[in-house]
């Protein structure tokens, strides 16, 4: 921003003012930036415009979870989900259009991969969410909004970000880092580093780069306690196996007593939810400052998996907890609008091209894995 304002021949402090208007106040109209001189506003208007993705749909689930489909300039669409929970308002942000990884239990994977998001497309999700949440609070029936501000303040704004939407954020580090910077910077969204979490399936070199470049929380999609099973569920494990992944997690924490890694573990009935898996997981996490999030599997058509039942989930939770592993059961949110983990599938503008692309076998692939499922079945 500083080099941009320099280029316009403006004073360096304009950069700070612009960032605050854009991100803190959510103002995109240069004429409304009242502490800029008329001449500066005119210069800005001739040099720049603020462009946002279009809101293609906006739906709220019965539990208050809200899902947006944002349409990008190239016609692709991405999904962003807001999850209000007491004082916390968590935004689940996408990092790619589709996903290049092939986790066997994830709807986004079935859709295939189109492209990386740019930094502005990532940060626009946070900007739009805050703006739409504020609009909803303002335009509500007075009774409701009184209720919202007292009972559930988080309904109006994003307090936490999880990079757990569509895509693998660590395969898009170049765009991710500047977007995280804007989330964390006090002049912009000013979120605390503990409240911004990057989730990865375990792209080890990028975990080290993330550590070197920015301070934020890390979540790892583990899902299996041994390589044999993880190779099947999260195929990137073939390249970056569990022992190396655990070493990378330790490097990320870097001996900092206040830090820990969140491990996500989706429970698939009869696949990874047995007591022996829980015991293997305990051994794996020994001496690791870790929090385990148990996620009930969210089904989608032709996934081939079923959700573990309550008995299995509780048994798994109990084994870990009794061994002193801090374990939370993540509630399923927004599943009536397909906004739950693994159900985000965006929408396809250029459907035929993508469909053709992902129904062809990939290089070296001889298996008869299912072709991309047409989007109507996922939605
Ligand atoms: N690619 C990154 C970011 C996506 S995060 C990662 O893998 O971490 C989305 C989380 O939801 C991941 O932990 C993912 O494994 C999990 N998930 C995917 N499909 C799911 C499903 N059908 N049910 C429950 N969780 C799922």
Tell me, what CATH number does 8's domain have? 1.10.150.530
Contact residues for 276 (Cβ-Cβ < 8 A; gap 6+): none
Catalytic residues: 79, 341
In a domain, 362, yes or no: no
Query: Do 36 and 70 lie in a common domain?
Result: no
Which of 264, 272, 308, 313 to mutate to test ligand 1, by most ligand atoms within 8 A of the CB atom? 264
Closest residue to atom 21 of ligand 1, CA basis: 342
Going from the Cα of 144 to the center of ligand 1, the distance in angstroms, rounded, reads 34
Strand 160-163 and strand 196-200: pairing? parallel
Which of 94, 99, 103, 122 to mutate to test ligand 1, by most ligand atoms within 8 A of the CB atom? 103
Distance between CA 296 and CA 299 in Å, rounded? 9
* Residue 304 backbone dihedrals phi, psi, to 5 degrees: 85, 0
Q: With pLDDT > 70 as the criterion, what percentage of the chain qualifies?
A: 84
Q: How do residues 255-312 score in pLDDT, each as one tens digit?
A: 788 889 999 999 999 999 999 999 999 999 998 999 999 999 988 888 999 999 999 9
Cβ of 91 closer than 6 Å to ligand 1, yes or no, is no
In a domain, 357, yes or no: no
**Given a cut of 80, is residue 141 above it in pLDDT?**
no
In contact, 218 and 252? CB cutoff 8 Å: yes
Query: Do 118 and 163 lie in a common domain?
Result: yes
Cβ of 106 closer than 6 Å to ligand 1, yes or no, is yes
Query: Do 130 and 76 lie in a common domain?
Result: yes
The structure's pTM equals 0.87
Tokens of residue 54, six digits:
């279009």
Q: Can you tell me which atom of ligand 1 is nearest the CA of 296?
A: 24
Query: Do 15 and 74 lie in a common domain?
Result: no
Closest CA to 216 of 201, 195, 202: 195
145 pLDDT band, cuts 50/70/90, is: very low
In a domain, 346, yes or no: no
Going from the Cα of 115 to the center of ligand 1, the distance in angstroms, rounded, reads 18
For residue 320, give the CATH number of its domain. Answer: 3.20.20.70
Q: How do residues 121-136 score in pLDDT, each as one tens digit?
A: 999 999 999 999 988 7
Contacts 24+ apart (CB under 8 A), 368-373: 370/110, 370/302, 372/110, 372/111, 372/112, 373/110, 373/111, 373/301, 373/302
Contact residues for 277 (Cβ-Cβ < 8 A; gap 6+): 224, 225, 229, 316
Query: Do 6 and 150 lie in a common domain?
Result: no
Tokens of residue 131, six digits:
């703006």
Cβ of 342 closer than 6 Å to ligand 1, yes or no, is yes
Cβ of 113 closer than 6 Å to ligand 1, yes or no, is no
Query: Do 136 and 57 lie in a common domain?
Result: yes
In a domain, 32, yes or no: yes
Query: Do 241 and 310 lie in a common domain?
Result: yes
Closest residue to atom 1 of ligand 1, CA basis: 168
Query: Do 278 and 321 lie in a common domain?
Result: yes
In a domain, 152, yes or no: yes
- Give the structural domain span for 170: 51-337
Instruction: Give CA separation, 354 vs 342, 345, 348, 360, in Å.
Output: 20, 13, 8, 10
Going from the Cα of 33 to the center of ligand 1, the distance in angstroms, rounded, reads 40
Which of 308, 342, 343, 378 to mutate to test ligand 1, by most ligand atoms within 8 A of the CB atom? 342
Angle, to 10 degrees, between the axis of helix 119-139 and the axis of helix 173-184? 40
Distance between CA 41 and CA 8 in Å, rounded? 11
Q: Can you tell me which atom of ligand 1 is nearest the CA of 298?
A: 23
Cβ of 240 closer than 6 Å to ligand 1, yes or no, is no
Q: How do residues 72-117 score in pLDDT, each as one tens digit?
A: 999 999 999 999 998 899 999 999 999 999 999 998 888 889 999 9
Specify the range with the lowest mean pLDDT, choosing from 213-222, 298-307, 337-346, 348-357: 348-357
Residue 190: other Cβ atoms inside 10 A: 12
Query: Do 45 and 60 lie in a common domain?
Result: no
Query: Do 184 and 273 lie in a common domain?
Result: yes
Q: What is the per-residue pLDDT for 122?
A: 98
């Amino acid at each position: 921003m500083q080099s941009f304002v320099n280029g316009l021949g403006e004073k360096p402090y304009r950069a700070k003012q612009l960032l605050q208007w854009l991100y803190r106040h959510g103002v995109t109209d240069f004429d409304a930036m009242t502490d800029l001189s008329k001449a500066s506003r005119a210069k800005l208007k001739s040099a720049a415009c603020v462009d946002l993705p279009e809101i293609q749909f906006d739906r709220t689930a019965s539990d208050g979870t809200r899902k947006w489909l944002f349409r990008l300039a190239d016609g692709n669409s991405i999904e962003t989900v807001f999850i209000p929970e007491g004082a916390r308002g968590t935004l689940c942000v996408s990092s790619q259009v589709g996903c290049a990884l092939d986790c066997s239990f994830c709807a986004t994977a079935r859709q295939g991969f189109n492209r990386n998001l740019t930094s502005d497309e990532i940060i626009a999700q946070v900007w739009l969410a805050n703006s739409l949440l504020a609009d909803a609070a303002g335009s509500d029936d007075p009774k409701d909004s009184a209720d919202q501000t007292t009972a559930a303040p988080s309904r109006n704004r994003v307090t936490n970000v999880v990079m757990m939407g569509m895509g693998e954020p660590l395969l898009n580090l170049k765009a991710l880092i500047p977007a995280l910077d804007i989330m964390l910077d006090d002049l912009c969204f000013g979120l605390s580093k503990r409240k911004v979490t990057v989730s990865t399936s375990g792209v080890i070199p990028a975990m080290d780069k993330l550590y070197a470049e920015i301070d934020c929380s890390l979540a790892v999609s583990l899902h299996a306690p041994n390589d044999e099973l993880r190779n099947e569920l999260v195929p990137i494990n073939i390249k970056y196996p569990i022992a190396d992944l655990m070493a990378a997690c330790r490097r990320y924490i870097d001996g900092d007593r206040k830090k820990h890694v969140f491990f996500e573990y989706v429970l698939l009935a009869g696949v990874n939810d047995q007591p022996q898996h829980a015991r293997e997981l305990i051994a794996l996490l020994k001496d690791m400052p870790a929090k385990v999030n148990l996620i009930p599997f969210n089904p989608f058509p032709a996934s081939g998996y079923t959700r573990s039942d309550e008995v299995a989930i509780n048994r798994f939770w109990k084994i870990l907890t009794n061994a002193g592993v801090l374990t939370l059961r993540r509630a399923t949110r927004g599943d009536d609008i397909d906004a739950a983990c693994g159900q985000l599938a965006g929408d396809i503008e250029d459907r035929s091209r993508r469909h053709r692309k992902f129904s062809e076998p990939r290089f070296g692939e001889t298996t008869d894995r299912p072709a991309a499922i047409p989007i109507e079945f996922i939605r």
